[in-house]
Amino acid sequence: MKFASRDASQPRYRPAKSAVAIAFAVATVCCFSATTQSHAAAETRGQPIPLYTGTEPGPKVPEITEAFRGQQIVRNIRRPTLEAYLPEKARATGAAVIVAPGGAFLMLSIDSEGRKAAAWLADHGVAAFVLKYRLNESPADQAAFGRQLDELFIGAAKGTDHDIIQPLAIADGKAAVKLVRERAQDWSVDPTRIGFLGFSAGAVIALQTALSGDAAERPDFVAPIYGPMDAVTVPASAPPLFAAMAANDPLFGGKGFALVDAWIAAKRPAELHVFAKGGHGFGMNTTGASSEHWIDSFYWWMQASGFLKPSAG
């Protein structure tokens, strides 16, 4: 199984096949042009904002929000959106972060890796936007969906090679950066202080936007959380990097930190946090492990890096 883009121009991530099955099991058991008009309703916390004004390719089955194996998920996203979580005016820093949940490109862990993180950031003065990006299609019937996941796990255990990344999700990530930058004034956001935070599959999207050659769709800082650590080619334009994961991550743990090494070799700012415990998919869950406080470290890093204060000029 490849945790990799089907676009040959993109960096490829290839974790061990058996690790993919373990991590997916852990994650599932625990835990189109841009619109520019002003939407007053977008200031309501969680209000969905369409990424595109036209119709883009997506799953043919209806979007589903449901409880699945102990967590709230969304799948079969047909119309990608951003959900706005804006801070109170008195606390606003002017910084913004796009939040991309994970879920193996088959679902989104929308609460633990999306809305809870966005709400925390908004409460700390950072405008946050949860990205509901397009996914690989799954059956409407939950039991059939469960079998689809189980078959994925079994195939991975047997060494079957599958390509799981949805290229449209990468496109949605880039469109999200462009939309927030275009509408920065509407949301009282500094267009030069827009970050991208992604979990697992969402971390892949975050990294792809960070490595984009188009400045309009490239964030000003990037934070992959328990994402792939394989080496990539880091251009001089790459934004500052904050990365966090658990040492006992069954998917990406124990393989080194070539991604961070590549950032440092390119002389771009990089910070890495490796927590002793947390596994894969700890998100905003209360676990009692030190990894529970990753978002505090992310906030302190944003502060120390100057992203929480107005840019010069």
Q: Is 40 a residue whose pLDDT tops 80?
A: no
Query: At 149, is the pLDDT very low, low, confident or very high (cuts 50, 70, 90)?
Result: confident
Q: Is 294 a residue whose pLDDT tops 90?
A: yes
Q: Which of 238, 123, 166 is nearest to 3 (CA)?
A: 166
Q: Tens digit of pLDDT for each residue in 42-64?
A: 456 888 999 998 766 666 788 99
Structural domains in the chain, sorted by start: 17-304 (3.40.50.1820)
Q: What integer pLDDT is reported at residue 182 of this predicted model?
A: 97
Element (H, E) at 172: helix 167-182
Percent of the chain whose predicted confidence (pLDDT) is above 70: 80
Bigger pLDDT: 8 vs 183? 183
Q: Is 196 a residue whose pLDDT tops 70?
A: yes
Contacts of 149 (CB under 8 A, 6+ apart): 24, 28, 104, 106
DSSP-assigned beta bridge partners for residue 150: none
CA-to-CA distance for 93 and 3, rounded, in angstroms? 35
Q: What integer pLDDT is reported at residue 47 of this predicted model?
A: 85
Q: Is 253 a residue whose pLDDT tops 60?
A: yes
CA-to-CA distance for 30 and 136, rounded, in angstroms? 21
Q: What is the DSSP code (8-state) at residue 114?
A: I
Q: What integer pLDDT is reported at residue 251 of this predicted model?
A: 84
> What count of other Cβ atoms lies within 10 Å of the Cβ of residue 139?
15
